Amino acid sequence: MSLTASGINVAFRTRTVLQDTGFTNLQTGHLTALIGPNAAGKSTLFRTIAGLIKPNAGQIDLDGQDLSKLTIQQRLKRICFMPQFFSANAALSVFDVVLMAQKQLSGWRVSQADMTAVASALDKAGIGHLANANIGDLSGGQAQMVSVCQALIRRSDVYLFDEPTSALDLHHQLDVMGRIKATMQERGTIGIVAMHDLNLAARYADHLLLIGSGRILAQGRPETVLSDPMIADSYNVAVQTGTGPRKELNVHAYAD
């Protein structure tokens, strides 16, 4: 299975956000990082893939099937989208909101297996102690961990994570990225993570997409894309890549 997009255009009134953009053959079992500066079009591209925005032109294919031909319910089943901002003011517990994600596409009759799956997901995320907490009382980082749980408890073909580590400390950034990558490998699904941290992208992503001014400017292996002069041009910084003590790729940026 693969995900491909071509000729995507999205405009809001007179402002063009995505212009003739696309990517080729994102593969199952791989994690792709979507990188680029603020307002480059990352969230809009995600919302377009998820079907929340209808493009003015272009096509997105999943395993050769045009996603625009699917019903809303079919698209929801195949694509799981974790948005950048998580907000919940309802009087629901953390356990309840993850259970709702678990049951969203399978009917609302709750089984013991559902209850066990939710408890396990919360424990794996290290937030089992928050199961009975009101979702509206959580910190930003805690809410983000819950949002990741909501996504990973779903069974989808494509997972879109819009900046899943933005509110997390260093330990939880590594934990979340590790769990996302492992889940994509174990399930043989397609994962795309929008992020700003180029070192996290280099460490966990199998593939990178660099977006700028509404277009995909480069795509490929991290060591190739992060060495591309377009990285420096896109972020308006001087960039140098190197190898760390564990042979990992490191990115150093310097303001001009």
Residue range 88-111, pLDDT digits in tens: 666 789 999 999 888 876 677 888
CATH code of residue 128: 3.40.50.300
What is the domain extent for residue 197? 2-255
pLDDT mean over 29-33: 96
Query: Taking all residues of the chain, what is their mean pLDDT, rounded to a whole number?
Result: 90
Give the pLDDT confidence of 143-184 residue by residue, as tens digits: 999 999 999 999 999 999 999 999 899 999 999 999 999 999
Yes or no: say if 239 and 226 are a contact pair by the CB < 8 Å rule: yes
Placement of tokens 């995320």 in the chain = 125
Q: How far apart are CA 123 and CA 114, in angstroms?
A: 14
The total number of structural domains in the chain stands at 1
Q: Which residues pair with 26 in a beta bridge?
A: 3
* Mean pLDDT, rounded, for 64-78: 91
52: which DSSP letter? S
Flag whether pLDDT at 256 surpasses 80. no
Cα-Cα-Cα-Cα dihedral sign, residues 182, 123, 159, 230: negative
- pLDDT tens, position by position, 181-229: 999 999 999 999 999 999 999 999 999 999 999 999 999 999 999 987 8
pLDDT score at 222: 92
Distances (CA, A) of 23 to 6, 102, 107, 136, 230: 6, 30, 35, 38, 17
Using the structure block, give the residue that is written with the tokens 């009101």.
134
